[in-house]
Structure 1
Amino acid sequence: MRSGEVDLAVQVRGTSGPTVVLVHGYPDTHEVWDRVAALLEKDFRVVTYDVRGAGESSAPSTEDGYRLERLAADLFAVIDAVSPDEPVHLVGHDWGSIQSWEAVTTPGARIATFTSISGPCLDHMGHWSRKGLSIAHLRQFLRSWYIGAFHLPVLAPLFWRLYLGPRWGGVLRRLEGVKVKPARTITSDAVRGISLYRANIRQVMRSPRQRFAPMPVQVVQPVHDRYIRTEPLDLERWVPSLTRRKIAAGHWAPLSHPEPLARMISEFVADSTPKRELVVITGGGSGIGRATAVAFARTGARVVVSDVDFAAAKETAGMVDGHAYEVDVRSEEAVRAWARQVADEHGVPDVVVNNAGIGHSGSFLTTTTEQWQRVLDVNLWGVVHGCRAFGELMVDRAEGGHIVNLSSAAAYLPSKILSAYATSKAAVFMLSDCLRAELAPHAIGVSAICPGLVNTNITATTTFSGVSSEEERSKQDRASRIYARRGFGPEGVATQIVRAVRRNKPVVPVTAEARAARLASRATPGLLRTFAKLDLG
């Protein structure tokens, strides 16, 4: 089809459903969308096209022909041709997203929704760059080094022709783990496409315009993108209905992760309402679990809690307008069934807090095998089951997330009366570090939370080795009084949990004594071992 001075090669797949237009970036052609389009065409009428100067489309004769307004005009021409009566759902990647931003911020655009992947609005970027120098600005400047290189006369196209173009397939395989079309086509497209940068970057960044997008917009940020980050941009200023999502991919997500990307597009077309974070908490019926549910609910998150005490879980759920389940975390089968049920009824969680735990005190020799088993079943295996069941769902979803495991200051503070409890929490501590390393490529963070003395009902339910029932009740009462006098409530732990998720912190000692013990365990471990030998009554 004709658009101004160029001919555009347009491809249409599927015959029914809403129309979805996919716009490719640099130095790609419409083929970058082939795997995504194949998944979408079952439910949508999918349109792709080679932008001017790429693939089978013709190229403008001057650099000015690559200006954003010309690119937007091409997109409008395609929309008019393929969907003259109905608005379309637009998806752009890289420069396809940049030029799509130009279109969606043009008044009167017939676009129902817009999904942006690895390509900002240059005007939004220009306004952000004027907010003052920050670490985020410096990092983005370093990521964008190639933009300056593309402005070099003679050298930039020569570098593409003689070096980068012939090796492009190997470069992407090493950097992104993806395959591209033959190098010869990439080279010619890339040389022409340099004009995209030269015709737009300096001009727009020098005098950014006020550009508002009235339709729902979904911004998908590949977490391993080496070139562009959209998180720092103040997009809420420009987009009234904004959904931010992550994908555990590099820059070329359409090639490397077509399934999750197609799912995100489909979900957004079906329901463009901004998604609320989903948080799942075990042991949510009381104490730290309940306080964490309340803390996340205050941030606007949807909350799901479980507990062996269903009545307590329901009470928490009622406080946060959430959902309650009765689950015994000691059972892998029960936790897996619950995870599948949560995914089916509410979606895959964004945050999982493995909080369920029990207390036990007693020397090693007086702690029975049955008592050891009970403590490890809840405190360690409950965490293992939660990490495995929900972690698998998170990895398959490929949108990142966060797992929070409740450890304790006892994990690094030896005590001759906490052998079983401290061992279980130390295991959770190390599990969290190991899991953090394993899940990092999937953009899933893992935090170990290490409270000290926190005033919760765990002291009233802690069991003791080698004592009578009467002595056990006496010790429980004494521990409860000590923790109450300490005066640190579960709300303080919940605040630290939310902060750990937001900042992706690996280890969080919560109370003052937990922080002091953590420091001592690293600086003077021998002193802690000596202290552990003392008989403190």
Structure 2
Amino acid sequence: MRIVNSGDVRLAVFEEGPEDAPTVLLVHGYPDTHAVWDDVAAVLSQRFRVVRYDVRGAGQSDAPRGLEAYRLPHLKDDLFAVADAVSPDAPVHVVAHDWGSIQAWEAVTEPGAHQRIASYTSISGPCLDHAAYWFRTRSPRRFGKVLRQQLHSWYILAFHVPLLPELLWRGVLAKRWPEFLRLAEHVPPRPGHPAPTLASDAARGLSLYRANVRERFSRPRKRTTQVPVQVITPVYDRYVTPALAEGAERWAPRLWRRRLYAGHWSALLRDGAQVARMATELIDHVDGGVEPRRQLVVVTGGGSGIGLATAKAFAATGAEVVVCDLDEEAARATGLPAYRVDVSDEAAMRKFADDVVARHGVPDVLVNNAGIGHAGTFLATTTQEWERVLDVNLWGVLHGCRIFGELMAERGEGGHIVNVASAAGYLPAKSLAAYATSKAAVLMASDVLRAEVASRGIAVSAICPGFVATNITRTTTFSGLSEEEQELRRAAATKAYRRRNFGPEKVAKEIVRAVATGKALVPVTPEAKAGLMLSRLSPAALRAAVRHL
């Protein structure tokens, strides 16, 4: 720790990481201290020189008296004083949260700030001037959002009540704060947080609200910036709604938006590694000219049929697409990053996931498409045939869901898992015993997974094509038939499906649409839609209808 003077206020500044690396300045909010950044700093300090400071009135920094001392111009001067002291020869990258973000916006929108601030990542704290203009915009569509934000901001009015908030913080709230974070944000108690100075910090920090909110909202200024800005929105923030950052591009033309499936404080105290990663990505873009990451899509069984069509459809939207297939030659023929993978092999899938993350990152979309066909009645299908179908059609999907789903959940930015099932999953055709069973299991797996990962912002869609002309008919196996008889059946099935003339491109279009809309269950062909409707309206009639299939 060292002391940096800002006017007559002494600020406690904490530094870690390599001294010759770019400097990242972390600014905390209310009622925290620099310790709220512990998890973020632990990750960032592996590559950057990380600087944190206790803002005036908090932690080990001075606590000046009077509202005037807590106005935004003084807070802005504090930030620049620390930046100049720790990095006099190079601009710093700023990452800020809550009130730290509000005061950082004051600095970032100062004329010439781009010469001293290289990038800015803002979390749960708008520019008060921008917010004031947002509240003043009149439109029926915005009225509901404004009302919702006002309800979320109830505490601001409460903080303007004289004396009572101070008494509550010093008497009750500070002692109960760890329990509040545990219940409201799922953040367990941890050493060093909250700080032992919480009661006095929170009581003094009320001056931030009283000195600035009313003034800025009554006389907002037009504050623009040339600094590259990244706005991270914690989706479950109970105090700052996503709508409050609407229209920020008007003030910050170089602006990127990111979502983090976390709460106001859990964004730092639970998902700090994700915040560090997002901040690093912006820094790398600014310092190294790396383009912002495109949507990343992984497609299994991407060498042919529905998988190939889906890979091409996502690539046409501008996404980065990675495919895998058991047929390595077919996968590489797509012209996309390609891997040979047996989806039924868990170890192979984990290695595939490791390779994808190392070379491309965590996928935004996973399409579990790989599958095989098999025809045969229940009793005629051998144990080996059952195992082969279930290994690929069910376990291949489960491996993909578990391995990539865990990565999406850990990343914290949401995602989408698409499982290609089949209309056979709800049409109990006796001639497709193993195949229909595997696809029915995929439908149920999709349902239970959807319920589990929804809170992490991960959507799950099950796609049910019907009769689609793909090469699956040329590789389908049949129980109890000689190889010659199987070849005849394959030829007949291929001819029939070709005559049906429903191509995989139409399925791919529905998959892309499902990712855009978040639809849970998508029957594709007319017969798939009719079968689903009948399965819901009259299961008995459906069973009778398919009895001879």
TM-score normalised by structure 2 residue count: 0.87
Residue 460 of structure 2 is aligned to residue 446 of structure 1? yes
Residue 414 (structure 1) shift: 1.9
Verify the 8 A CA contact 2:121 2:229 in the aligned structure 1: yes
In 1: Cα distance, 2:13 partner to 2:393 partner: 58
Q: 2:542 aligns with which of 525, 528, 532?
A: 528
Q: 1:284 aligns with which of 292, 299, 302?
A: 302
In structure 2, the residue matched to 1:315 is 333
In 1: Cα distance, 2:157 partner to 2:372 partner: 58
Q: Deviations over 1:23-46 (max 9, x none)?
A: 001111112123433443343322
Residue 497 (structure 1) shift: 2.4
In structure 1, the residue matched to 2:172 is 163
In structure 2, the residue matched to 1:335 is 349
In 1: Cα distance, 2:520 partner to 2:221 partner: 41
Residue 108 (structure 1) shift: 0.9
Helix, strand or coil for the counterpart of 1:194?
helix
Q: Deviations over 1:462-519 (max 9, x none)?
A: 3333445565455445544554555543333323323333444433333444344334
Q: 1:470 to 1:182 in 2, by over 3 A?
A: closer
Residue 104 (structure 1) shift: 1.6
Matches within 5 A, 1:7-18: 7-14=10-17, 15-18=19-22
Q: Which piece of structure 1 moves more, 193-202 or 16-25?
A: 193-202
Residue 369 (structure 1) shift: 2.7
Matches within 5 A, 1:382-393: 382-393=396-407
Residue 62 (structure 1) shift: 3.5
Verify the 8 A CA contact 2:297 2:365 in the aligned structure 1: yes
Residue 34 of structure 2 is aligned to residue 37 of structure 1? no
In 2: Cα distance, 1:156 partner to 1:192 partner: 10
Verify the 8 A CA contact 2:235 2:242 in the aligned structure 1: no
In 1: Cα distance, 2:520 partner to 2:119 partner: 37
Matches within 5 A, 1:381-530: 381-467=395-481, 469=483, 472-473=486-487, 475-480=489-494, 482-484=496-498, 486-530=500-544
Aligned-partner residue type, residue 292 of structure 1: T
Q: 2:207 aligns with which of 174, 195, 217?
A: 195
Aligned-partner residue type, residue 179 of structure 2: G
Q: Which piece of structure 1 moves more, 487-496 or 48-57?
A: 487-496
Aligned-partner residue type, residue 175 of structure 2: P
In 1: Cα distance, 2:468 partner to 2:129 partner: 50
Matches within 5 A, 1:17-416: 17-109=21-113, 110-129=116-135, 130=137, 132-133=141-142, 137=146, 139-176=148-185, 177-179=187-189, 181=193, 185-205=197-217, 208-230=220-242, 233-252=246-265, 253-272=267-286, 273-316=291-334, 318=335, 322-416=336-430
Q: 1:51 to 1:334 in 2, by over 3 A?
A: same
Residue 280 (structure 1) shift: 1.0
Residue 84 (structure 1) shift: 1.7
Helix, strand or coil for the counterpart of 2:93?
strand
Verify the 8 A CA contact 2:152 2:239 in the aligned structure 1: yes
Q: Which piece of structure 1 moves more, 233-242 or 362-371?
A: 233-242
In 1: Cα distance, 2:500 partner to 2:220 partner: 55
Verify the 8 A CA contact 1:124 1:233 in the aligned structure 2: no
Q: 1:404 to 1:86 in 2, by over 3 A?
A: same
Verify the 8 A CA contact 1:167 1:183 in the aligned structure 2: no
In 1: Cα distance, 2:465 partner to 2:308 partner: 15
Residue 170 (structure 1) shift: 1.6
Residue 171 (structure 1) shift: 0.9
Aligned-partner residue type, residue 295 of structure 1: A
Verify the 8 A CA contact 1:278 1:303 in the aligned structure 2: yes
Residue 98 (structure 1) shift: 2.0
How many residues are matched?
531
Q: Which piece of structure 1 moves more, 30-39 or 305-314?
A: 30-39
Residue 2 of structure 2 is aligned to residue 2 of structure 1? no
Q: 1:122 to 1:188 in 2, by over 3 A?
A: same
TM-score normalised by structure 1 residue count: 0.88
Aligned-partner residue type, residue 128 of structure 2: L
In 2: Cα distance, 1:134 partner to 1:370 partner: 62
Verify the 8 A CA contact 2:302 2:323 in the aligned structure 1: yes
Q: Which piece of structure 1 moves more, 470-479 or 50-59?
A: 470-479
Q: Deviations over 1:88-113 (max 9, x none)?
A: 01110111112212222223111111
Verify the 8 A CA contact 1:406 1:450 in the aligned structure 2: yes
Helix, strand or coil for the counterpart of 2:105?
helix
Identity within the alignment, %: 60
Residue 399 (structure 1) shift: 4.0
In 1: Cα distance, 2:164 partner to 2:391 partner: 65
Q: 1:228 to 1:527 in 2, by over 3 A?
A: farther
Q: Which piece of structure 1 moves more, 30-39 or 79-88?
A: 30-39
Q: 1:239 to 1:281 in 2, by over 3 A?
A: farther
Helix, strand or coil for the counterpart of 1:20?
strand
Verify the 8 A CA contact 2:120 2:228 in the aligned structure 1: yes
In 2: Cα distance, 1:524 partner to 1:196 partner: 63
In 2: Cα distance, 1:517 partner to 1:123 partner: 56
Residue 329 (structure 1) shift: 1.4
In 2: Cα distance, 1:6 partner to 1:50 partner: 12
Verify the 8 A CA contact 1:166 1:183 in the aligned structure 2: no
Q: Which piece of structure 1 moves more, 231-240 or 302-311?
A: 231-240
Q: Deviations over 1:353-395 (max 9, x none)?
A: 1111122223223333332222212111111222233234334
Helix, strand or coil for the counterpart of 2:333?
helix
Verify the 8 A CA contact 1:359 1:462 in the aligned structure 2: yes
Verify the 8 A CA contact 1:241 1:274 in the aligned structure 2: no
Verify the 8 A CA contact 2:123 2:232 in the aligned structure 1: yes
Helix, strand or coil for the counterpart of 2:111?
coil
In 2: Cα distance, 1:215 partner to 1:40 partner: 20
Aligned-partner residue type, residue 427 of structure 1: A
Aligned-partner residue type, residue 497 of structure 1: I
Q: 1:510 to 1:49 in 2, by over 3 A?
A: same
Residue 303 (structure 1) shift: 0.9
Verify the 8 A CA contact 2:174 2:199 in the aligned structure 1: yes
In 2: Cα distance, 1:2 partner to 1:298 partner: 55
In 2: Cα distance, 1:165 partner to 1:224 partner: 23
Helix, strand or coil for the counterpart of 2:514?
helix
Verify the 8 A CA contact 1:449 1:508 in the aligned structure 2: yes
In 2: Cα distance, 1:201 partner to 1:480 partner: 70
* RMSD (Å), alpha carbons: 2.9
Aligned-partner residue type, residue 103 of structure 2: Q
Q: Which piece of structure 1 moves more, 75-84 or 482-491?
A: 482-491
Aligned-partner residue type, residue 490 of structure 1: P
Helix, strand or coil for the counterpart of 1:9?
strand
Q: Which piece of structure 1 moves more, 298-307 or 490-499?
A: 490-499
Consecutive unaligned residues in structure 2, runs of 5 or more = none
